[in-house]
Amino acid sequence: MRRKQIVQPSDPAAVATVVMRLYVAGGAPNSVQAIANLEAICQQHLKGNYQLEIVDVFEQPLRALADGVIVTPSLTKLSPLPAAQVVGNLSDQSKVLLALGLQGKTP
Amino acid sequence: MTTTRPVSKAESAHPEAEVAFAAFIRRLAHDAATLRAIKSGKVDAILDPASGRAILLPEAREALRRGAAPANQILATLPREEYQRLLAAGLEPVTLALGEVLHEPGELIRQIYFPNESLLVSLVTRIQNHGALEIALVGSEGMVGLPVAQGIGTASVRAVAQGTGTALRMEAARFCEALGTCLALQRALHRYTHALIAQITQTAACNRFHQVEARLARWLLMASDRLQSNLIRFTHEWLADLLGVRRVGVTVAASALQQQRLIQYSRGNITILDREGLKASACECYQKIKDIFDCA
């Protein structure tokens, strides 16, 4: 299987499902950390109302290049617009929340 | 995965090679923001448009190589040089996602996997008109693709990832070659084979004779041991498939365990609140399987 995907069912009561793509480098430390950090943020702030696709750049490097990814881990918010990108292991939660448009919203 | 070690040219201890590699990285990271990201130490790999490949940064590669204590318990028992030999022969990190199928019954096993503590893999068999049933659970204590170690290239069951997690994997053919020279690994796999057969045997009896609530408690404890966590992410549908029962059966059993304050569940997250209490609710199979693994 080339593409990794986690799809959380969206909450019909919520207005907009956040669609994200996280590019990782196999089981490299920052990549593992980024997945864990993002899952914690989603758990706390999105409560299942999100779709997250995890793409391993060792498996799909051309796709990552086509999407303009230069380094990994790299998180891209695809919708709702505006699109946004965060690079790194996502340990800076406020930066991730800002990119996801969640800053200032209570969990 | 064919590109985990594209930086082999830079693996040399020669400083010139390191300087050349650093220059190569700077060329790829042509903007200040990317260079800052690399310098921060919070990224692992860089994409090279010219070769169309992903390149692991030296720090990440070293961290993977160092990994003084591999998370997988079989690999953790190996002498350092034997583990290094496996890495050199192509043992490589991979991220797996929920539902990812590692092999199907009747198919060639192309890769073997050593799950880390973040990953669970179910070995599942299908019975016509009755759906699927889990016959064994593999986590950081084990290996997926064990028949390869016995010289059998074809899978007899489906192996499916039970969540997002990481593993070290290797092409089956290269693993067979390396296994011939890795005596500690051979011994570790003999012990694991014994323990896995015991798990499958006990699970078969458990599925026939024990109630859903006790089986669910047994399964949650086994999953928790392997994940080294009290938090397990599973839906009732998925658990029903694994235990070979209807969804409502799992819901009733989970509700009973929750009412006893042994677990708490919501939105696919199951938290074990009282481990000892859950053990008391589980059938004898949990302890029997655990004892055999611990002694193997």
Query: Does residue A106 fall inside a structural domain?
Result: no
Strands (DSSP E) along B23-139, which ranges? 45-48, 53-56, 92-96, 101-103, 111-115, 121-127, 131-138
* Mean pLDDT value across chain A: 79
Query: Does residue A21 fall inside a structural domain?
Result: yes
Q: How far apart are CA B40 and CA B69, in angstroms?
A: 25
Q: How far apart are CA B55 and CA B44, in angstroms?
A: 9
Environment class of B27 (CB within 10 Å of its CB; exposed 0-12, middle 13-18, buried 19+): exposed
Q: What is the pLDDT of residue B107?
A: 94
Lowest mean pLDDT among A25-29, B261-265, B269-273: A25-29
Cα angle: B123, vertex B124, B125; to 5 degrees: 135
Strands (DSSP E) along B58-120, which ranges? 92-96, 101-103, 111-115
Domain around A65: 4-99
Which phi-psi region, left, alpha or beta, contains residue A26 (left: φ > 0; alpha: ψ -120 to 50)?
A: left
The residue of chain A nearest to residue B164, with distances taken between CA atoms, is: A6
Q: How far apart are CA A38 and CA A100, in angstroms?
A: 11
The CATH number that applies at residue A34 is: 3.40.30.10
Please state the ipTM of this predicted complex.
Answer: 0.81
Closest partner residue to B166 (CB to CB) among A27, A65, A70 is: A27
Whether residue B281 is predicted with pLDDT greater than 60 in this model: the reply is: yes
Q: How far apart are CA A84 and CA A75, in angstroms?
A: 8
Would you call A67 helix, strand, or coil by DSSP?
coil
Would you call A88 helix, strand, or coil by DSSP?
coil
Q: What is the pLDDT of residue A31?
A: 87
Query: Does residue A105 fall inside a structural domain?
Result: no
* Mean pLDDT value across chain B: 84
B57-70: average pLDDT = 70
Lowest mean pLDDT among B39-43, B117-121, B210-214: B39-43
**Residues of B with CB below 8 A from A26's CB?**
1, 4, 92-95, 166
Residue range B210-295, CATH number:
1.10.10.10
The residue of chain B nearest to residue A90, with distances taken between CA atoms, is: B42
pLDDT tens-digit map of B198-231? 999 999 888 888 889 999 999 999 999 888 888 8
Query: Chain A, 51-90: which have a CB under 8 Å from a chain B CB?
Result: 54, 56-59, 61-62, 64-65, 69-74, 87-89
Domain residue spans of chain B: 8-65, 70-204, 210-295
Whether residue B2 is predicted with pLDDT greater than 80 in this model: the reply is: no
Tokens 């720090």 belong to B59
Between these two residues, A36 and B122, which has the higher pLDDT value?
B122
Tell me whether strands A50-56 and A18-24 are parallel, antiparallel or unpaired.
Answer: parallel
Confidence of residue A6 (pLDDT cuts 50, 70, 90): very low
On the question of a cis peptide bond just before residue B79, with omega within 30 degrees of 0, the verdict is no
Maximum alpha-carbon separation in chain A: 38
Whether residue A1 is predicted with pLDDT greater than 50 in this model: the reply is: no
Q: Is A107 on the interface with B (CB under 8 A)?
A: no
Would you call B224 helix, strand, or coil by DSSP?
helix
Asked if the domains at B70-204 and B210-295 fall in one CATH topology, the answer is no
Q: What is the pLDDT of residue B5?
A: 34
Q: How far apart are CA B114 and CA B140, in angstroms?
A: 7
Tell me whether strands B111-115 and B165-171 are parallel, antiparallel or unpaired.
Answer: antiparallel
* Number of domains into which chain A is organized: 1
Q: How far apart are CA B220 and CA B214, in angstroms?
A: 10
Chains A & B: contacts with CB separation below 8 Å: 128
Residue range B70-204, CATH number:
2.60.120.10
Q: What is the pLDDT of residue B59?
A: 78
**Residues of B with CB below 8 A from A66's CB?**
none
The residue of chain B nearest to residue A62, with distances taken between CA atoms, is: B52
Which pTM does this prediction carry? 0.61
Tell me whether residues B94 and A29 touch, CB distance under 8 A. Answer: no
Cα angle: B170, vertex B58, B46; to 5 degrees: 85
**Residues of A with CB below 8 A from B60's CB?**
25, 28-30
Query: Does residue A26 fall inside a structural domain?
Result: yes
B99-112: average pLDDT = 94
CB atoms under 10 Å from CB of B9, counted, come to: 10
Q: What is the pLDDT of residue A5?
A: 45
Tokens 């079989």 belong to B74
Query: Does residue A104 fall inside a structural domain?
Result: no
CB atoms under 10 Å from CB of B238, counted, come to: 18
B70-96: average pLDDT = 82
Closest partner residue to B44 (CB to CB) among A1, A25, A65 is: A25
CB atoms under 10 Å from CB of B101, counted, come to: 13
Whether residue B247 is predicted with pLDDT greater than 90 in this model: the reply is: no
Tokens 């819901």 belong to B251
Would you call A14 helix, strand, or coil by DSSP?
coil
Q: How far apart are CA A29 and CA B35, in angstroms?
A: 19
DSSP 8-state symbol, B11: G
Query: Does residue A17 fall inside a structural domain?
Result: yes
Whether residue B55 is predicted with pLDDT greater than 50 in this model: the reply is: yes
Q: Contact at 8 Å (CB) between A67 and B51?
A: no
